[in-house]
Amino acid sequence: MNEYKISLMPGDGIGPELTEATLKILDVVQENFDVNLNIVYAEAGDAVLKKRGAALPEDSLKTIRESHACLKGPVGETAADVIVKLRLLFDLYANVRPLKAFPNVPVARPDIDMIFVRENTEDVYKGLEYSIGNDVTVCLRVITRQNCERIAKRAFETAKLRQKKKVTAIHKANVMRITDGLFKRVCQETAKNYPDIQYNEMYVDAATMHLIRTPQEFDVLCTCNMFGDILSDEAAQLIGGLGMAPGANIGDNFALFEPIHGSAPDIAGKQLANPLSMILSAKMMLHWLGERFNDLKCLKAAEGIEKATIQTLINGTTVPDIGGKASTLQMAQAIAAALKN
């Protein structure tokens, strides 16, 4: 039986609560699905910076490097020193954010089912900012053919596995003619290799409108880094909020999974946070492990988590941000009980 070493980063704010909740689910995965997870903690975030002088200490990096995958809670002000650094260090070029409507959750439409495939290592998020004197600042936007090709291919390969089989490339090439012009050309070139996939393009400002107006029309959205970050947060509000939104950072040889939201310090320690963002991120992790290592047990466990989540919501157990009264841990315990069955 395969043993998977999972580096676990609880993070800041509500992160430890989400981590505790998610571990309830992973305990059932190990017991009922015969999946062997060796979970090893790796410190990172604001509290670690205060305690140790580094938001991402070297021993944590070593633990992550030696693991098969990483599961991470949200961190606070040190996000750029933690998740952005990890994306670059491990070349996690694809940020994948599935957003779908679940039952018994306040959603814009019950037929929303889209997935953002966002370039994750360049654009303005490289942080190449400069001051020229006291009154002028400059931010460099880096867009490369290699990364455009990788993310476009990931988007089309993702669409092949989905029902609608549709890719929408989102850019602003009418204004940023060189950088987004390159992204647009590469997406068009890649589309020619996938004749069975419906391909269209949309300017980013139009996309923000159509996400609200006709969200059911979207399937796979392929974007550059900053646009994807903003649009996916917007789209999450259509399915009940950021607490319903899991995420993955995927490279060729490693992947890190996390909720797409921040650490929410205002509700930390109150058991009010929605644990589904991290539980569904763990589901994505198991699916990735199953595909990467051809492990049917991991794939079945991932499918089981989603089914148990749906059943729990249908049964009426929900947390406050989606209209219920259950605590963070109670929600997880209900899903864990459903998963056992």
Whether 1-102+242-341 shares its CATH topology with 108-239 is answered yes
Measured CA to CA in angstroms, residue 78 lies from 45, 74, 267, 315 at distances of 6, 10, 19, 38
Token pair listed for 142: 């880096």
Closest CA to 71 of 254, 292, 333: 254
Q: Please give the order of strands across the beta sheet that includes 220-223.
A: 36-41, 3-9, 69-72, 255-259, 246-250, 94-100, 113-119, 220-223, 166-171, 198-203
Closest CA to 311 of 338, 333, 277, 330: 338
Q: What is the second-level CATH architecture of the domain 108-239?
A: 3-Layer(aba) Sandwich (3.40)
Helices (H) and strands (E) in the chain, counts: 12, 12
Residues involved in catalysis: 125, 172, 205, 229, 233
- Domain ranges in the chain are 1-102+242-341, 108-239
Token pair listed for 179: 């950088």
Q: What is the pLDDT of residue 290?
A: 97
Burial of 16 (0-12, 13-18, 19+ CB in 10 A): middle
Average pLDDT over residues 37-53: 96
Q: Measured between alpha carbons, how far is 169 from 207 in angstroms, rounded to an integer?
A: 10
In sequence order, the 6+-apart residues with CB closer than 8 A to the CB of 186 are: 145, 148, 149, 152
pLDDT in tens, 267-286: 999 999 999 999 999 999 99
pLDDT in tens, 235-261: 999 999 999 999 999 999 999 999 999
Average pLDDT over the chain reads 97
CATH of 1-102+242-341 among 3.40.50.720, 1.10.357.10, 1.20.1090.10, 3.40.718.10: 3.40.718.10
pLDDT in tens, 75-122: 999 988 999 999 999 999 999 999 999 999 999 999 999 999 999 999
pTM of the model: 0.96
Residue 1 predicted with pLDDT over 70: no
